[in-house]
């Protein structure tokens, strides 16, 4: 029990550190700067930050949410992204922890690594679309390519060059390209007024990540949550029917719900349906 707790705490701390790096990527994708070969600095006063300013979550708490140098408020995005990344890393490891004891250790580590990376992609997309109204091509294209490769490797590792492996790969491809084609049709019909060009790309990635039928659940939840939030914003007077609202964050939320609880929700719905 103690060892397990220490392990999950270590995973959480790793997630916090990765989340801090994701914040840097999000900001520098927007500004066009390199996030690999440039020191972190305060966006307000441009002062280079020391290691004591960059401790995930703790620095924000110690500094009381203000820059050490210019005393301007640090956006809540930074600690929230760090915290969310840490929690997601723990969820992913807990989800597949029992499978590590099976004979497919290498396969499970490949799956866990892929899910961790996919979560990072989704977090970047969530904040970028919410804050800047854009789904970065520099993130979504690598996400799609890596998903295609990893899905194929997992299927081949499990079943070799067999019909089952081909069906497993085809399931992800059909789910991805079918859902993306539907969203692309919406974009073309509306001429980009209802949805942006980045949404079909994101849905393609979601389909490769989730497969069928979880992609259906993710899209349903995205539309449901988006409708509820949209109505709430209109009623509160913060938005109008003509206001632009990014759909990417709702797609990301739907993806995470389907990823962690999709099987449970789908089984619940099917059982409810058959009882009627």
Domain range summary for the chain, segments of one domain joined by +: 1-102, 135-276
Residue 43 is predicted with a pLDDT of 81
**pLDDT bucket at 202, cuts 50 / 70 / 90:** very high
In 3-state terms, what secondary structure has residue 85? helix
| pLDDT of 208 over the 70 cut | yes
Residue 97 pLDDT: 63
Q: Is residue 135 within 8 Å of residue 33, measured between CB atoms?
A: no
- Whether residue 237 has pLDDT greater than 80: no
Q: What is the pLDDT of residues 10-66, one digit of tens each?
A: 999 999 999 999 999 999 898 888 777 677 888 888 888 887 888 889 988 988 888
Asked if 266 and 217 touch (Cβ cutoff 8 Å), the reply is yes
Q: Report cis status (omega within 30 of 0) of the bond before 213.
A: yes
DSSP 239: -
Tell me which of 36 and 91 has the higher pLDDT. 91
> Whats the size of the chain, residue-wise?
276
Q: Supply the pLDDT for residue 209.
A: 92
Q: What is the pLDDT of residues 138-163, one digit of tens each?
A: 999 999 999 999 888 887 776 667 77
3-state secondary structure of 41: strand
């Amino acid at each position: 029990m103690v060892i397990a707790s220490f392990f999950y705490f270590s995973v959480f701390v790793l997630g916090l550190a990765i989340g801090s790096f994701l914040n840097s990527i999000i900001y520098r994708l927007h500004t066009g700067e390199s996030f690999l070969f440039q020191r972190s600095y305060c966006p307000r006063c441009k002062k280079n930050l020391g290691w004591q300013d960059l401790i995930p979550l703790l620095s924000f708490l110690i500094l009381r949410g203000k820059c050490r140098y210019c005393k301007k408020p640090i956006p809540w995005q930074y600690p929230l992204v760090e915290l969310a990344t840490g929690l997601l890393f723990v969820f992913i490891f807990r989800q597949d922890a029992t499978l590590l004891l099976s004979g497919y250790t290498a396969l499970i580590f490949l799956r866990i690594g892929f899910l961790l990376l996919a979560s990072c992609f989704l977090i970047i997309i969530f904040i970028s679309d919410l804050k800047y109204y854009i789904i970065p091509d520099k993130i979504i294209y690598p996400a799609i390519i890596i998903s295609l490769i990893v899905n194929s490797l997992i299927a081949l590792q499990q079943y070799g060059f067999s019909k089952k492996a081909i069906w497993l790969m085809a399931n992800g491809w059909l789910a991805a390209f079918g859902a993306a084609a539907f969203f692309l049709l919406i974009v073309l019909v509306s001429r980009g007024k209802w949805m942006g060009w980045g949404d079909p790309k994101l849905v393609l990635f979601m389909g490769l990540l989730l497969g069928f039928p979880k992609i259906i659940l993710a899209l349903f939840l995205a539309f449901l949550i988006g409708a509820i939030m949209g109505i709430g914003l209109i009623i509160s007077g913060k938005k109008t029917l003509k206001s632009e609202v990014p759909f990417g964050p709702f797609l990301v939320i739907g993806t995470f719900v389907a990823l962690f609880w999709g099987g449970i929700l789908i089984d619940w719905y099917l059982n409810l349906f058959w009882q009627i």
